[in-house]
Every structure is written in C-alpha cells, then in structure tokens.
C-alpha cells in the first residue's frame, strides 16, 4: 500500500494545503515533517476558510490521525492558540487525533526576538523571514543547544538548558542587537503552564508510525514551503531554515526512506515567491498584477503580497531531480483563464550562454535571462470543470507541454479554492 509525500516544486505557496486536505480523505495518517509556524496552509471547506500553521491539514477530517514529527519546530504558545481556533470552528473534537513528537524542538521567546531584531539589523540585506523564530530555533538544534518538547517535562533539565541558553542569548540581544534580554523564571513559569496544555498530545511518534506501517495504514506526508526554499537545494541564502525536500519526510518523521512511495510534486500553473531573493520569471507589470489579483496571492501567514511570474520549468525540473518526483499536481489553473498568451520558461542564459541547469550561485541567477516559449491561452472559465475532457483545448495543450518538458505525468489539476474544484486523473495512493 503506497504512502504519498507532498512537496512543493517552487518557492512555496503552491497550494499544498488544499491537496493535502483532499488526499487526507483517502489516507489514515497525515504527517507534518518539517518547518514551523512560518508555514501557512489555507484550506477552504464550503464557505469557510481555515489557515493552518503547525497542525497538519488532515485535522479538518474526522477519524484521521495527525502527527507532528521530530523535524518540525514548535512554538507551544501559538500551537495552543491554533488548536483552540480549530476547535472553535467545530473541527478536532477528539484529542487523540493529534500526536506531537517528544523530540521536536521548541521555538523559545528569545528565538522570535532574535529573528526580528536580526532582520532589522541587516537592513536592505535582510532575508525576508516571517519573524516567527524558526531560523534561530533550528540554529540551536544544530548547535546542540536546543530545547525539545520532552525537556520541558523535566524541571531540572529545563532549568539547566534555559539558564545556559539565556547567558548567551541575553548577551547577544543586549550587546549586539540592542534589544532587551529575558528573565529565565518568567519563561520557565510560562512553559510549565503550556506543557500542561500540550502533554496529552506528546508521544514517541516514530514508534507510532512504525507500528502503523506494520498495520498497512496509508500515510500522507505533508511538506511545508517549497524546494527552492530548501536550505541545501534552494536559492541560498534566501531560503528557509530546514530541508523541504521529500527525503526530509523520512528524517523528520523517524521512518526509513524505503517507506516513501509516491512523491507528488505540487506546481502552481504560474510562479510566485514571498520575500527577498532572485526570481527569474517575475512580472512587475500588468500581467503580474493580473496573476496576483486573480490568484489572491497574499501570504497565509504574513499577508504579504506575493511576487508573481510565469511558470518556470527550470525550477520545476530542478525540484523533480532533488525530490525524485513521480507525479505532478498543477494548481491554480483557473487563474490563467483570460490570458491571450502564456509564456513558459524553459531555461536560462547567462553571458550569452545557455545554462545546463539551475545555478547554485544566486548572483548568477539574478543576472540570468529567461528563455521563453509562448503558448496560446484560453478565455473560458474552467472553475466548474470536474474532468480533464472538460478543459479547453488550449488548457489541455498547456498541461501536455508541461508534461513533455518535465517528463512527469500530471495526475491532479486544481481549478479553484474549494475541495471539489479539482480534477483527479489518477489517485496518488493507487499509482
């Protein structure tokens, strides 16, 4: 029985939340394996829009188990707020539906203050983080100074780690960033109160998932951000602080890589990104505004307007190689309706030379020229289409062209924000 990994093929915001929500209905378990509250997955059920940050999108379905893996960094305060908000909307009526890894690392108050202050300190050279403390939390994890979920349930361990960390963090905040430091007792008391609210969810999620596999349960792995934001394979340094690629589904959940079967890459029918960094197909004209307005391109977490441009298949092919993508899902196809012609980026040139692949040097990428092919657009509204044959001929040709250039079959097409507005050519759990 195949398991499915959802990954973004661009700079995030590809519509992964909706696809996870749809496929949750076919799965038994939904696992979030990286990132933190900097990611926002928007799901529309009926007329109700729900934005999820740390809790997997499967929580909106009954009788599904949602797991937050060890690869995620958790802000316990906003985590509790998010749970309360989900419950207030009538979802998540059974606390046993959610499990939180005991070895996930925590975002501490000093991480958030450092994140914001450091961005302000950089001025025009800032990365464009969300200020949620994700980067500093991952830094502590890698430097072996992190505080894990399990640590706050041992008073002696928690006090020792917190005290040691604050010596360094307060010095850095006060003497370099010119910010106020923290009182350790205030943080300790706050987190002791928070641990009582989250302890019912905390468990060894790796062991739970291992036994679930033995019972032939179907697992859906929910990625956050996109491949071009991967800390190793993205447009470094304008990236997130974790590995967003499919391999992280294994590392961030505690399951071996042989358990990853179908890798479904989510690609928006055009391209967007939030924050700073190179963007070869960016459109800063009326077409870019058309895509932003028609697509509602504003960040789910920050509300920031997204930068918009033509689809970049050099990016998608790079993501396909990094992730071993087996199938593609195209989202927001409906946004392109009304355009007379659509451009497709097939590669880049630099100093008059066609580049063999996606360049690692962002300064080269900033100076690249995109190589475009132009295809005919369509005028028809496709938001009511439920079958591939109902799409206009030019929309079908556009999809076929993407398949031809990437060498990957498109098996799902999203034509609107709602659950029902999707064309499923093949079920990812049965391919």
Distances, alpha carbon 187 to alpha carbons 2, 320, 396, in Å: 44, 43, 56
The answer to whether 320 touches 408, Cβ cutoff 8 Å, is: yes
Q: From start to end of 109-216, where are the E strands?
A: 202-203
Catalytic (active-site) positions: 13, 41
The answer to whether 165 touches 145, Cβ cutoff 8 Å, is: yes
3-state secondary structure of 34: coil
Q: How many angstroms separate the CA atoms of 97 and 95, rounded?
A: 5
Q: How many angstroms separate the CA atoms of 97 and 201, rounded?
A: 9
- Roughly how many angstroms between the first and final C-alpha of the chain, as a whole number? 10
Element (H or E) spanning 101, and its range? strand 98-101
DSSP for residue 158: H
Please name which of 64, 68, 40 lies closest in space to residue 56, comparing C-alpha atoms: 68
Residues whose CB falls within 8 Å of the CB of residue 280, separated by 6 or more in sequence, listed in order: 309, 312, 314, 345, 348, 365, 368, 369, 370
Element (H or E) spanning 181, and its range? none
Q: How many angstroms separate the CA atoms of 377 and 374, rounded?
A: 9
DSSP for 266-331 reads: EEESSEEE-SSS--TTB--SHHHHHHHHHHT-B-TTT-PBPEEE-EEHHHHHHHHHHHT--EEEEE
Q: How many CA atoms lie within 13 A of 382 on its CB side?
A: 27
CB neighbours of residue 258 within 10 Å: 7
């Amino acid at each position: 029985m195949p398991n499915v990994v959802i990954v973004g093929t661009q700079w995030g915001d590809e519509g992964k939340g909706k696809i996870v929500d749809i496929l949750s209905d076919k799965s038994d378990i939904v696992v979030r394996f990286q990132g933190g509250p900097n990611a926002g997955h928007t799901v529309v059920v009926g007329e109700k829009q729900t934005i999820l940050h740390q809790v997997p999108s499967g929580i909106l379905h009954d009788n599904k188990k949602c797991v937050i893996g060890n690869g995620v960094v958790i802000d316990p305060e906003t985590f509790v707020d998010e749970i309360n908000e989900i419950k207030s909307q009538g979802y998540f009526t059974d606390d046993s539906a959610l499990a939180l890894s005991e070895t996930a690392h925590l975002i501490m108050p000093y991480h958030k203050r450092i994140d914001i202050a450091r961005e302000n300190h950089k001025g025009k050279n800032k990365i464009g983080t969300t200020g949620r403390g994700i980067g500093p939390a991952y830094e502590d994890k890698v430097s072996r100074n992190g505080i894990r979920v399990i640590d706050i349930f041992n008073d002696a361990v928690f006090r020792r780690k917190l005290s040691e960390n604050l010596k360094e963090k307060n010095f850095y905040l006060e003497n370099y960033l010119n910010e106020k430091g923290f009182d350790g007792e205030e943080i300790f008391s706050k987190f002791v109160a928070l641990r009582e609210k989250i302890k019912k969810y905390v468990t060894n999620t790796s062991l739970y998932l291992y036994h679930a596999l033995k019972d032939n349960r179907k697992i859906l792995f929910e990625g956050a951000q996109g491949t071009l934001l991967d800390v190793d394979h993205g447009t470094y340094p304008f990236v997130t602080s974790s590995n967003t690629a499919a391999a992280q589904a294994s590392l961030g959940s505690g399951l071996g890589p042989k358990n990853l079967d179908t890798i479904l890459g989510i690609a928006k029918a055009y391209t967007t990104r939030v924050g700073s960094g190179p963007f070869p197909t960016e459109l800063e004209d009326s077409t870019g505004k058309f895509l932003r307005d028609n697509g509602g391109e504003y960040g789910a977490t920050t509300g920031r307007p997204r930068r918009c441009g033509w689809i970049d298949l050099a990016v998608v092919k790079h993501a396909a190689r990094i992730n071993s993508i087996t199938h593609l899902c195209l989202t927001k196809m409906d946004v392109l309706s009304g355009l007379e012609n659509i451009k497709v980026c097939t590669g880049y040139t630099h100093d008059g030379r066609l580049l063999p692949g996606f360049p690692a040097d962002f300064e080269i990428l900033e100076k690249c020229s995109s190589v475009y092919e132009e295809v005919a657009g369509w005028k028809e509204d496709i938001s009511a289409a439920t079958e591939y044959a109902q799409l206009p001929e030019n929309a079908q040709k556009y999809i076929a062209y993407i398949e031809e250039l990437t060498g990957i079959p498109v098996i799902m097409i999203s034509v609107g924000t709602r659950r029902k507005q999707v064309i499923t050519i093949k079920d990812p759990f049965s391919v």
